[in-house]
Amino acid sequence: MGKVLERFAPKLNSLSDSEKHVVYYIDNHFQTAKQQNLVQMARAVNVSTTTVIRTCKKLGLEGFAELSFILRSLDPGNTLKEDDLVTKYVHHLHESLDSIDHKQLERMAQIMLQAKMVVVVSVGLTKGLGEYIGKRLIQIQKQTMYVYESHIIDLLPSLLHDNDVVLFISMSGETQTLVKAAQKLRFTGARLFSVTNAAESTLSQLTHYNISTRVPTSSFSGYDITPRTPLVLLLDILIETYMKKLTDKG
């Protein structure tokens, strides 16, 4: 499966045959398609421009312009110009909101409500995100422990009780400290959550519940500069969903 089919896989069943043909064309001719305008693509696929636009709408996009932006963002060799930065962030946030699994989110919030304690685990560049979400939970009087040091993470199996929640935060979902911890904690009675930027990552698969963003990874001078903003957005929505359930309960 190509990068375009993978990106839009959940929407393919809603497309007509001619609309699927548009998506298959883009996936098979990615380098050409990302350079085409609306008329050029319609001619290449041998469909009307209306069909291309309708395909974009059914894929959950605003129109052809957003499709073009997504195709450029899926290209690892593409670098957006400085004046595209705001548009890039708007797109990342929009895409993260569209990809939220609301049933999963509701279930996670309900489990948090029933849990005696929530343990937030994050390391590296997501350490600050863990501290942020931990403090928000403490503010609403949820018993919370924030863990980021490896020797404390190793002690978690002996500190947890049945139905406690362990919330892992990781961009890649492949951080070995967190993956190894999740492997051990699966044998406790705790419920494991993960918030990642990689729904198919090892950590995402090891936890009972996962919500993920879809931000293309990027680097500069060898350093990971992938924006964490959409990840914070998911954490905020999880907390607000929890607060709503807490209010309804009261």
For residue range 219-245, what is the model confidence (pLDDT) as tens digits?
666 677 788 888 999 999 999 999 999
Query: Tokens representing 229?
Result: 């903003």
Label residues 77-102 b or e (16+ Cβ within 10 Å = b). Answer: eeeeeeeeeeebeebbbebbeebbee
Q: For residues 220 and 82, give the distance between their C-alpha atoms in angstroms, rounded to a whole number.
A: 14
Q: State residue 101's pLDDT score.
A: 82
Residue 119 and residue 232 in one domain: yes
Sequence length of the chain is 250
How confident is the model at residue 82, as a pLDDT?
47
Bridge-based pairing of strands 209-212 and 191-196 is parallel
Residue 97 lies in a domain: no
Instruction: Count the neighbouring beta carbons within 10 Å of the beta carbon of residue 249.
Output: 8
Which pLDDT score is estimated for 84?
66
Q: What confidence score (pLDDT) does residue 167 get?
A: 98
pLDDT of residue 78: 52
Q: Do 71 and 147 reside in the same domain of the chain? A: no
Angstrom distance (rounded) from CA 26 to CA 24: 5
50-81 pLDDT tens trace: 999 999 989 988 778 778 878 877 776 554 45
Do 178 and 170 contact (CB within 8 A), yes or no?
A: yes
121 & 245 share domain: yes
Query: 33 in a domain, yes or no?
Result: yes
Q: Which domain holds residue 237?
A: 102-249
Q: Does residue 52 sit in the same domain as residue 112?
A: no
* Ramachandran angles phi, psi of 216, nearest 5°: -60, 135
Task: Give the pLDDT score at 77.
Answer: 56
Dihedral angle computed from the Cα positions of residues 28, 35, 82 and 171, in that order, rounded to the nearest 10 degrees: -10
DSSP 174: -
Report how far apart the first and last C-alpha atoms of the chain are (Å, whole number).
48
pLDDT the model gives residue 68: 81
Q: Which of 78, 110, 137 delimits the end of a domain?
A: 78
Query: d(Cα 55, Cα 62) in Å, to the nearest integer?
Result: 11
Residue 250 confidence (pLDDT): 65
- How far apart, in whole angstroms, are the C-alpha atoms of residue 14 and residue 75? 25
CATH of residue 57's domain is 1.10.10.10
Q: Which parts of the chain have pLDDT scores under 70?
A: 1, 76-84, 219-222, 250
Whether residues 147 and 233 fall in one domain? yes
Say which CATH number the domain at 113 has: 3.40.50.10490
